[in-house]
Amino acid sequence: MCGRYAASARPDELVEAFDIDEDHSAEPGRSILKNPQHPAPGEPDWNMAPSKQAPVVLTRTPRARDAAGTGGAPDGEPDGEPEPTRQLRLLTWGLVPAWAKDVKLGQRMTNARAESVLGKGAFAKAALSRRCIVPADGWYEWQKSPTAVDAKGKPRKQPFFIHRADGGPVGFAGLYEFWRDRELPDGHPDAWLTTFTIITTAADPGMDRIHDRQPLVLEPEQWDQWLDPAEKDPDVVRGLLEFAAPGRFDAYPVGRAVGSISNNGPALLEPVAREELVGVVDPMTGEVIGG
């Protein structure tokens, strides 16, 4: 699974890295959080968590401007025959299907399994027409110790940070969806909520010593096809969902502060010294460090 990740790049950096045509990340969007998001949406965030608004890359055909003049209403009529554009937008993590009665369902849909996404009702339509890429520095995963226990007698969990070994940007395969709040009138700025989920797949050899699942990370040469809304062939999409290239990632243990969403900043990525580890399995060698 993927429940936390780091996304420290600023919009201008993402525009360059992901070849963005239109940067809409400064546009306000509906938040489902009870308290203001911190860091603010669009700012570097080293502890991205579900329900937060996060930068997402998607390709869409421009739509007619809605009644509020904001443009891009999902039910707008096409204006002529404009070309699809690659856009950077802030979407809420936790997919809420169009048919959902309220936004709470998104709390259970932060991830979608690559193996079943084309056949699952909540994700199937989006998998064929609303695919996106979620930019990240890397992601966090918690390893259960085979030897050490915590104060409650349960396996001790050690957080790891997993990132590309070549230092390049990570692009998670994702899906997005539009949800209309029927309690609000047309033109209300919060009438529409756009959400996303991160697709997961089986973990690479070595990485599976941390967790048996990992985000599906696509290569830059796959981005065009994955983002293309005109590509609706299930076999083509299935081929992308089955993509694997072991050996791309490195992982190292980090401090336990990442476990609290109130903690943030680049210090979360600092590695833990080997002598401080207790019952931690080295993902590359299988060695148990610290007893």
* For range 66-93, the mean pLDDT: 66
Reading the block at residue 154, the tokens are 């349960």
Domains defined for the chain, CATH in brackets: 4-289 (3.90.1680.10)
Which of 29-33, 73-77, 161-165 has the lowest average pLDDT?
A: 73-77
Give the pLDDT confidence score for residue 2 in this predicted structure. 79
Cα 74 to Cα 60: distance, rounded to the nearest angstrom? 10
Annotated catalytic residue 141 = yes
Q: What is the DSSP letter of 237?
A: H
Q: Which of 134, 160, 158 is nearest to 147 (CA)?
A: 158
Whole-angstrom Cα Rg for the chain:
20
The span from the CA of 93 to the CA of 86, in Å, is: 19
The position carrying tokens 């401090």 is: 255
Q: Which is catalytic among the residues 13, 22, 115, 141? A: 141
pLDDT in tens, 80-120: 568 899 999 999 999 999 999 999 988 889 999 999 999 98
Position 61 scores a pLDDT of 85
Residues facing residue 164 across a β-bridge: 249
Q: How confident is the model at residue 74 (pLDDT cuts 50, 70, 90)?
A: low
Residue with tokens 């957080």: 159
Closest CA to 150 of 10, 7, 278, 260: 278
Helix pair angle (220-227, 234-241), 10° resolution: 150
Catalytic residue among 2, 81, 219, 275: 2
Residue 197: its pLDDT value, please? 98
Sign of CA dihedral 37, 162, 259, 257: negative
Residue 78 reports pLDDT greater than 60? no
Q: Is 150 exposed, middle or buried (0-12, 13-18, 19+ CB in 10 A)?
A: exposed
> What are the tens digits of pLDDT across the range 237-258?
999 999 999 999 999 999 999 9
CA distance 197 to 219: 18
222 residue type, one letter = Q
Q: 41 preceded by cis ω (within 30°)?
A: no
Here the tokens at position 91 are 């979407």
pLDDT tens column, 123-134: 999 999 999 999
pLDDT digits (tens, 9 = 90+) for 180-232: 999 999 999 999 999 999 999 999 999 999 999 999 999 999 999 999 999 99
Strands 288-289 and 155-164, sheet pairing: unpaired
How many CB atoms within 10 Å of residue 33? 13
Inform me whether the pLDDT recorded for 177 exceeds 70: yes
Mean pLDDT across the chain: 92
Q: Are the CB atoms for 92 and 190 separated by under 8 Å? A: no
To the query of whether residue 2 is one of the catalytic residues in this protein, the response is yes
Positive/negative CA dihedral, 161, 213, 48, 118 = positive
The Cα–Cα gap between 250 and 206 comes to 9
Q: How many residues does the chain have?
A: 291
